[in-house]
Amino acid sequence: MSLLTAIVPGVAEQLPIAVLVSGTGTNLQALLDTVHGREARIVAVASSVADAPALARAAERDVPTAVFARGDYADRAARDDALADWLVQRGARLVVLAGYMELLGPVFLARFSGAVINVHPSLLPAFPGIGAVAQALAYGVQVFGVTVHFVDEGVDTGPVILQRAVELPDAREEHEVLDALRPLEHALLPQAVRLFARGALQFDPADPRHPLAMRPPGAGADWPADLRVARPARGRAEASAPGEANGPDETRDAGEG
């Protein structure tokens, strides 16, 4: 089933998720501190870098880890196959890119169709790929933001799940922007996992760019406040994100990580 037509199934128990990392792991830590052991269970953490500090964060919580360095395989496809095999063995049903600094190929994405998400440090489709914050600063924007989106075969081109913006009219340095975006990443990524775990996302083939959010029973009129997508014509009442106007490789930017 393709990404754009797949319907994300509801999950009655904790959703088993895998997290892919390459760096310090602050987004992984946010997931460990919020959804792990609640709506979801992190069953695997895989890194493209052998000494990534994120691996220590996982080990502290007794989460299994493994390293899949691209140089250890004949090519990226072989690496992707080995990575996917391990994630399947671990029982992962959702793959979360949290500062993962590699691209994933079509075979990997097909094995987790409609179940790979990424956090990116810009308001996509603006400033995709590597160096998103540097691109935004060079362009002179005053509003920055974070996007959580489904991953497809393009570079940060998959359907948007959540977005949030912040005004930084005086920012001139990347670290200033990244410091402001980090709390947004740490809030939105767990929220996206919660939505997936509740079966609250699905793709409408007639409008594949806007995943639908299905309101769970008993939810209030403003549920959820951070949701970017809205389809009022279909009788759904979702709220858009405040201020709303695949980690880095040669072409991917995964945020701070």
Contact status, residue 123 vs residue 162, Cβ threshold 8 Å: no
Reported as a pLDDT band with limits 50, 70 and 90, residue 247 is very low
Fill in the amino acid letter for 13: E
Q: Which CATH class is domain 15-234?
A: alpha beta
17 Cβ contact partners less than 8 Å away, ≥ 6 residues apart: 31, 40, 41, 42, 43, 92, 93, 94, 95, 96, 193
Residue 219's pLDDT is what?
52
- 117/193 Cα distance (integer angstroms): 9
Q: State the average pLDDT for the chain.
A: 83
Residue 44's pLDDT is what?
98
pLDDT digits (tens, 9 = 90+) for 115-165: 999 999 999 999 999 999 999 999 999 999 999 999 999 999 999 999 999
Residue 208's pLDDT is what?
77
Active site residues: 120
Closest CA to 239 of 251, 252, 226, 248: 226
Contact status, residue 62 vs residue 224, Cβ threshold 8 Å: no
Residue 204's pLDDT is what?
72
Q: What are phi and psi of 120, to 5 degrees?
A: -130, 140
- 254/120 Cα distance (integer angstroms): 5
Residue 200 CB burial class (10 angstroms; 0-12, 13-18, ≥19): buried
pLDDT digits (tens, 9 = 90+) for 187-228: 999 999 999 999 888 767 777 777 766 555 555 544 444 444
Fill in the amino acid letter for 136: A
Residue 253's pLDDT is what?
52
- 164/125 Cα distance (integer angstroms): 13
Which residues in 212-248 are b (16+ Cβ under 10 Å) and which e? Answer: bbbeeeeeeeeebebbbbbeeeeeeebbebeeeebbb
119 Cβ contact partners less than 8 Å away, ≥ 6 residues apart: 27, 97, 98, 146, 147, 148, 185, 188, 189, 254, 255
**CA dist list (Å): 40 to 31, 33, 94:** 9, 11, 10
For residue 66, give the DSSP letter. E
CA-based R_g, the chain, Å:
17
Residue 206's pLDDT is what?
78
Q: What are phi and psi of 117, to 5 degrees?
A: -125, 155
**CA dist list (Å): 186 to 95, 101, 195:** 17, 18, 15
